[in-house]
Amino acid sequence: MNTENLERIRSIAEHYWKSFNNDPDYDPKADCLNTAKRLGNFLKKEGFSVLLVKGTFELDNPDPENYSDWDVNDFDSEEEMETEMYHALHYWNEIDEIIIDITAYQFQDEVDEALEFIVVGTYKDYCRYTPQDRKKL
């Protein structure tokens, strides 16, 4: 993808992020799927071929409170449950193998480095992302 399109995507994502991020009732932890769908449709209207991606986001220090209702009996083993805790279910957009994610910062307290509010880049640049399923919007 050329630099001009990357900058355009980033600009659209920033504009979209700013449009709802000032809402005190907005919680990205509860809304990454809906936010990715809305942003994806917005990008689609701007002429991009957009995918909605379901996958995982790798954590360093999962917050135990987020998993307090998990039951080890729902997994094959305790190790499997622990592995799942370190790979949080997440949704984002993709255009030509470029990640567009405006809700990654919801994981800030569970990773060791500072996260960007708006992610636009490759899977090589952002190795915490593992796509599992893609759907064209």
Domain borders along the chain are: 3-22+34-136
Q: Residue 88 belongs to what H/E stretch?
A: strand 87-95
Residue 53 · residue 134 · CB < 8 Å: yes
Residue 88 has pLDDT above 70, yes or no: yes
Average pLDDT over residues 72-87: 91
Confidence of residue 25 (pLDDT cuts 50, 70, 90): confident
Distance CA 11, CA 17 (A): 10
- Say if CB 88 and CB 62 are below 8 A apart: yes
What pLDDT digit, counting tens, does each position of 103-123 carry?
999 999 999 999 999 999 999
Query: In 3D, which of 29, 25, 27, 102 has the Cα closest to residue 63?
Result: 29
Query: H or E segment at 122?
Result: strand 119-122
pTM to 2 decimal places: 0.90
Are the C-beta atoms of 43 and 54 separated by less than 8 Å? no
